[in-house]
Amino acid sequence: MGVANSLTVTLDGAVLLAIEVQPGAHRQGVTGFNSWRNRLSVAVKADAKQGQANLAVVHVLAQQLSLPSGEIRIVSGERSRLKSVRVEGVGAADLLDRLHSLVEEGS
């Protein structure tokens, strides 16, 4: 269970990732998993002003998941800390493995 609960595979093979964002943090990256909300926790240094935090979320996830930033986009929650992110170019099983290692590092 755990991180797998934050993933949903779409009909076209992309993966939706449920995240919660902490803008204005001192460090950036995947910081853990919120089991109460079933969301991956992502911290970014950028403030939640004029979409800066959203851009930072895409950049941080792309960097940490070793994916081009063009394959990651926010599909809902652009004005909220709770977001859904669409990830393309990687299968759900591979993405889950990458996320598990990031959550273990962040904890």
Helix (H) or strand (E) holding 85: strand 82-87
Which regions in the chain score pLDDT beneath 50? none
Q: What is the pLDDT of residues 37-56, one digit of tens each?
A: 999 999 999 999 999 999 99
CA–CA separation, 55 and 51 (whole Å): 6
Q: What is the CATH number of the domain that holds 17?
A: 3.30.1200.10
pLDDT of residue 2: 87
Provide the domain limits for residue 73: 2-106
CA–CA separation, 43 and 92 (whole Å): 22
CA–CA separation, 68 and 16 (whole Å): 16
Chain center to CA of 93 = 15
> 56: helix, coil or strand?
helix
In Å, how far are 8, 11, 12, 63, 100 from 57, measured between CA atoms? 19, 24, 23, 10, 18
Count of structural domains within the chain: 1
Task: Indicate the pTM of the whole model.
Answer: 0.92
